[in-house]
Amino acid sequence: PASITWWKAGKLLHHSTTVTSSHAGNLTTSTITLPLSKADEGVILSCRADNPLVPASALEDSINLNIYYTPTTFARVGSNINASNIREGMDVYFECDVDANPKIRKLVWTHDGQVVHGNASIGTIISNQTLVLQSVTRRSSG
């Protein structure tokens, strides 16, 4: 039977595998179970089969791992705004970075548990992952 090894990002894996061979001995199947995380997104996983009885018989197949994971967010005050010195009447903007796979389709801003809707006539502008509040008041805090 073939000798099958597994590789992740070019490194040999030493995890337990399940190997089965056909009765005729001409088919070997190997299954590996791995703990994966979002850090493994895009990493190459390969299996390599060698038959020690047949010289130069090595075969290899690979896949790019596509790891789905829930979104993580990081919201921050705009880079040119001093968060500890925001005053009434100022324009303030916020940015939200999202790490998710698959990519998010929609980002929703909330304030005190209520959805914030874009409305330029009242000074609330939402564009992509940015929220702009024009002429903030005390009601804008929180």
Q: Which residues of the chain have pLDDT under 50?
A: none
If asked whether residues 45 and 21 sit together in one domain, one would say: yes
Distance of CA 82 to the CA centre of its chain: 30
Q: For residue 100, what are the contacts with CB-CB under 8 A and spacing of at least 6?
A: 69, 70, 71, 72
Task: List the CATH number of the domain containing 33.
Answer: 2.60.40.10
pLDDT of residue 79: 87
Looking at residue 17, its pLDDT comes to 87
- Which pLDDT does position 130 carry in this prediction? 95
Q: Which residue range is the domain that position 114 belongs to?
A: 69-140
- What CATH number does the domain containing 127 carry? 2.60.40
Residue (of 81, 142, 78) closest to 112 by Cα position: 142
E strand or H helix that includes residue 60: strand 59-64
Cβ contact 107:98 at 8 Å: yes
Say if residues 52 and 62 touch (Cβ distance below 8 Å).
no
